[in-house]
Amino acid sequence: MSKIIVMMGAPGAGKGTQARLIAERCGYPQISTGDILREMARADTPLGHEIKATQAAGRLVSDEVLAEIMLARTSQPDCRDGYILDGFPRTLEQTRLLEDIAKRQEKSILVLKVVVPRDSLMKRLTGRRTCTRCGEIYNIYLRPPRVEGICDLDGAPLAQRSDDRAETVSTRLEAYERSTAPLIDYYRRSGRLIEIDGERPVTEVFEDLCAVLEKAGDC
Ligand code: AP5
């Protein structure tokens, strides 16, 4: 049975960093709802403006918008053999939708939770810089590029996300605790959750994730 791999964890836990590596290794597409929404927020439309304001404030975008995105994206041909979800589901309603999608597509769900203590998250988020061309993720304190402000991979400039300012980060962490953390218990109870210590170098976390995926026959 093909798989839906769900990356879970607090903002800044390293979901995106690890999802990119897993996607490269396993050949599944990485579906980042944050990236899709940031792209939609660039449109000069009422929906684009609403998403931009919601993300900048660190609040969650509505379940209706997320449902439209997910139904469209997961029915693309590249998702046929499996895919990696980075940032979805985040609410009970979204969890229900994912169960429906998995059932309809005859796929099983494996949830990988990257666990990082709250104290480390602030440094990770406020120090994050992302390549404006390829999306590679850096951190000015923990994983700096070779040349300041420039991507090692393609030489494009790096940018800071609008929601990575200290005051917005607190709102995002609260939204996570309130709406998303309770879902972890649901997946744990159904035996589909694996927790990985994310407070280690990126390569070590990745090795652990690969071991889990190999054991499950997914990569
Ligand atoms: P989204 O883009 O999904 O942000 P997030 O969940 O807050 O997660 P982040 O991308 O901030 O962190 P990450 O865990 O991916 O960490 P990363 O690998 O980048 O969502 C943004 C917004 O969009 C939401 O607030 C909401 O408004 C909206 N949204 C998205 N999905 C939604 C949904 N389903 N429903 C409703 N609204 C939704 O790493 C972070 C930093 O740490 C980087 O600098 C990295 O270099 C560093 N780092 C990573 N791993 C390590 C390591 N092992 N050691 C040291 N540093 C590390």
Render pLDDT for 33-65 as a digit per residue (tens, 0 to 9).
999 999 999 999 999 999 999 999 999 999 999
- Separation CA 68–CA 72 (nearest Å): 6
Contact 205, 198 (CB under 8 A): yes
Average pLDDT score over residue span 139-157: 96
The pick from 54, 123, 128 for probing ligand 1's pocket by mutation, whose C-beta has the most ligand atoms within 8 angstroms, reads 128
Using DSSP, state whether 151 is helix, strand or coil: coil
- 42 token code pair: 């660039």
**Dihedral through CA 134, CA 59, CA 185, CA 212, nearest 10?**
0
Average pLDDT, the chain: 95
SS3 label, residue 41: coil
Told to judge if 107 belongs to the known catalytic residues of this protein, a careful annotator would answer: no
Q: How far is the CA of 178 from the centre of ligand 1 (A)?
A: 17
- pLDDT tens-digit map of 57-78: 999 999 999 999 999 999 999 9
Q: What is the pLDDT of residue 119?
A: 87
The most distant pair of C-alpha atoms in the chain lies apart, rounded to whole Å, by 47
pLDDT for 143 equals 92
* Three-class SS state of 68: helix
Q: What is the pLDDT, as a whole number, of residue 1?
A: 75
Return the pLDDT at 18: 97
Total number of residues shown for the chain? 219
Residue with CA nearest ligand 1 atom 19:
16
- What pTM, to 2 d.p., does this model score? 0.95
Query: What is the C-alpha to C-alpha distance for residues 181 and 175, in angstroms, rounded to an integer?
Result: 9
Q: How far apart are CA 200 and CA 180, in angstroms?
A: 23
Is 15 considered catalytic here? Answer: yes
